[in-house]
Amino acid sequence: MKEGPDIARVAALLGDPARANMLTALMGGKALTATELAQEAGVTPQTASSHLAKLEAGQIVIPRKQGRHRYFTLSGPDIVEALEVMMGIANRVGHNRVRTGPKDPELRRARVCYDHLAGDMGVALFDGLSKRKLIKTDLNGVALTDAGVDFGNGFGIDLAALRQNRRPLCRECLDWSARQSHLAGSFGAALLDRFYDLGWARRMSESRIVRFSVDGEQKFRELVGD
Amino acid sequence: MKEGPDIARVAALLGDPARANMLTALMGGKALTATELAQEAGVTPQTASSHLAKLEAGQIVIPRKQGRHRYFTLSGPDIVEALEVMMGIANRVGHNRVRTGPKDPELRRARVCYDHLAGDMGVALFDGLSKRKLIKTDLNGVALTDAGVDFGNGFGIDLAALRQNRRPLCRECLDWSARQSHLAGSFGAALLDRFYDLGWARRMSESRIVRFSVDGEQKFRELVGD
DNA sequence: TTCATAGTTCGATGCTAGTCGAAGCATTGA
DNA sequence: TCAATGCTTCGACTAGCATCGAACTATGAA
């Protein structure tokens, strides 16, 4: 190939299993150390180090030095978007991982995936909104229905503002614990924010766990029509 | 890696330069034969055949047999989306190709890129809309401004309908001939459709060339504020 | 039938990239 | 100063994969 890489270079960086595992781990939004990423990817620290060097050189991740740790984060929302789209493709064509997800039951139940709700409750949210016909899925993906727009506005979400953003309102994100879809996109993120604001749930510090209050979970169940 | 591939498998398929070239060629929306794709990728037919077999096995492309030709198309809009996102990333981090694009001057000037306008006129459209402040670019990408919404509706585009779709309204797509951005997304596609409807331009059959009428080009120039 | 074209399969080659063990820095804490 | 921890560099091994020449199949045309 005389012509340089371009897409191929980016895709190749995401195309190694170890690196892909690291990047999906980083989708949680939390900065992780090199050692943590090595564990996530299931490789030795040496190997991880070489992968991280490549990802850094390709500007897929950015490192931040703190004491004797190096914390890594994704270099931008476009990386998350790329990972989400490819998860969708992998899901569509049936390339599914054997991996069943985290062991921690709280993590399996409700956690943050980048900026939206994942885990069993994330899946329940997606299914509930579908059943109530507030979102609909077709060949192209997920979209808000008219009823969904009314619902969103009534729930305190400024849909007009969200639409200003390029980011799609709704997107399917494959849940790596439940292996079903949950709701991503700016609307998915806004919903989680409202859950926080309404006091239904709060994010545990230093972790991806989202913990619902008893009252909040009750309200959540009503919302998803349980 | 004990855990299976998932994203990595998809990304790896897009991560080879020859395959990436083929796929970008297919973004034009036109079905291409194996030989044409071999030329696009700059490899021998044998090599192309092996790549196409992989892409087919990974369900990235779908083949259609016709006479003694095999025509390939992308397996879905999500593939286009993935390619677009990765083009955006490659552009952001400065992984640009040396390749300067097609030689045919008509192709360089105005052509279809999947379903929107590319080439010099595509770039002019993007720049013109930016200059008139109908679209704005920020960290997250491109979005319609309020003025842009008014413009779109006035130009005969049903923005409300477009928003029903999950596909982002606006997206930057890196132009491989001009090496600058042109406007993709559902709004970009709708604009090109309007150009057709208004008789400003028409798509040449069996080619990606978009040919503007004299009058149409005049109107187009006014539109982009030249 | 004969020839030309489109495409694939096979086999050989050569290169790249992922992997890890061992050793080397660097930072922190005692 | 010494030890422990986090991370990287070096070197060696291996496997996989892209690549192409050559031969083969299939479709279509003369």
Bigger pLDDT: B60 or B137? Answer: B60
For the stretch B58-84, pLDDT in tens is: 999 999 888 788 999 999 888 988 998
Those nucleotides of strand D lying less than 7 Å from any protein Cβ are: 5-11, 17-23, 26-28
Q: Which single residue is written with the structure tokens 């943590």?
A: A36
What pLDDT, on the 0 to 100 scale, is given for residue A13? Answer: 95
Residues 6+ apart with CB under 8 A from B170: A166, B135, B141, B142, B143, B144, B183, B184, B185, B187, B188
For the stretch B14-31, pLDDT in tens is: 999 999 989 988 887 778
**DSSP letter string over A59-128?**
TSEEEEEETTEEEEEES-HHHHHHHHHHHHHHHHTT---S----S-HHHHHSEEETTEEESHHHHHHHHH
Helix A77-92 with B77-92: angle, nearest 10 deg: 160
Phi then psi for A9, rounded to 5 degrees?
-65, -45
Question: Cβ–Cβ of B83/A6 closer than 8 Å?
Answer: no
Phi then psi for A202, rounded to 5 degrees?
-145, 155
What is the signed CA dihedral for B138, B142, B145, B149, rounded to 10 degrees? -170
Using a 7 A cutoff on CB, list residues near strand C: A 16-18, 43-44, 46-47, 50-51, 54, 67-68; B 1, 33-36, 45-46, 48-50, 52-53, 63, 68-70
With 50 as the cut, is the pLDDT of residue B2 above it?
no
SS3 assignment, position B5: coil
Neighbour tally for B68: CB within 10 Å? 6
User: Which of A42, A59, A166 is the closest to B2 by Cβ?
Assistant: A42
Q: Which helix (H) or strand (E) holds B113?
A: strand B111-113
Cα nearest neighbour of A168 on chain B: B168
What pLDDT, on the 0 to 100 scale, is given for residue B88? Answer: 85
ipTM above 0.90?
Answer: no
Q: What is the mean pLDDT of residues B28-43?
A: 85
Q: Are B141 and B171 in contact (CB under 8 A)?
A: yes
Neighbour tally for B197: CB within 10 Å? 9
- If pLDDT is split at 50, 70 and 90, which confidence band does A3 have? very low
What pLDDT, on the 0 to 100 scale, is given for residue B100? Answer: 44
Q: What is the mean pLDDT of residues A119-129?
A: 88
The answer to whether A35 CB sits below 7 Å from nucleic acid chain D is yes
Phi then psi for A190, rounded to 5 degrees?
-65, -35
With 90 as the cut, is the pLDDT of residue A52 above it?
yes
What is the signed CA dihedral for B52, B39, B124, B156, rounded to 10 degrees? -50
What pLDDT, on the 0 to 100 scale, is given for residue A177? Answer: 55
**DSSP letter string over B78-104?**
HHHHHHHHHHHHHHHTT---S----S-
SS3 assignment, position A218: helix
Q: Are A58 and A8 in contact (CB under 8 A)?
A: no
Q: Note which residues in 52-81 of chain B have CB less than 8 A from chain A.
A: 58-60, 75-79, 81
The verdict on B4 touching A (C-beta cutoff 8 Å) is yes
Cα nearest neighbour of A135 on chain B: B164
The verdict on A7 touching B (C-beta cutoff 8 Å) is yes
What pLDDT, on the 0 to 100 scale, is given for residue A4? Answer: 31
Cα nearest neighbour of A145 on chain B: B164
If you ran DSSP here, which 8-state letter would residue B54 be given?
H
User: Which of B17, B21, B164 is the closest to A143 by Cβ?
Assistant: B164
For the stretch A53-79, pLDDT in tens is: 999 999 999 998 887 889 999 998 889
Q: What is the mean pLDDT of residues A184-189?
A: 86
Domains and CATH numbers, chain B: 7-75 (1.10.10.10), 80-223 (no CATH)
How many CA atoms within 13 Å lie on the side-chain side of B13?
Answer: 27
Q: Which single residue is written with the structure tokens 């230093």?
A: A206
- If pLDDT is split at 50, 70 and 90, which confidence band does B141 have? low
CA B55 – CA B48 distance, rounded (Å): 10
| pTM score of the predicted model | 0.66
User: Which of B11, B83, B164 is the closest to A14 by Cβ?
Assistant: B11
With 60 as the cut, is the pLDDT of residue B220 above it?
yes
Question: Cβ–Cβ of B93/A8 closer than 8 Å?
Answer: no
By the 10 Å C-beta count (0-12 exposed, 13-18 middle, 19+ buried), A55 is classed as: buried
With 80 as the cut, is the pLDDT of residue A1 above it?
no
Within 8 A of A168 by CB-CB distance, chain B residues are 166-168
Question: What's the CA B80/C1' C11 distance, rounded, in angstroms?
Answer: 36
- From the list A128, A81, A116, A93, the residue with the least C-alpha distance to A201 is A116
Q: Are A221 and A212 in contact (CB under 8 A)?
A: no
With a pLDDT cut of 90, the percent of chain B lying above it is 34
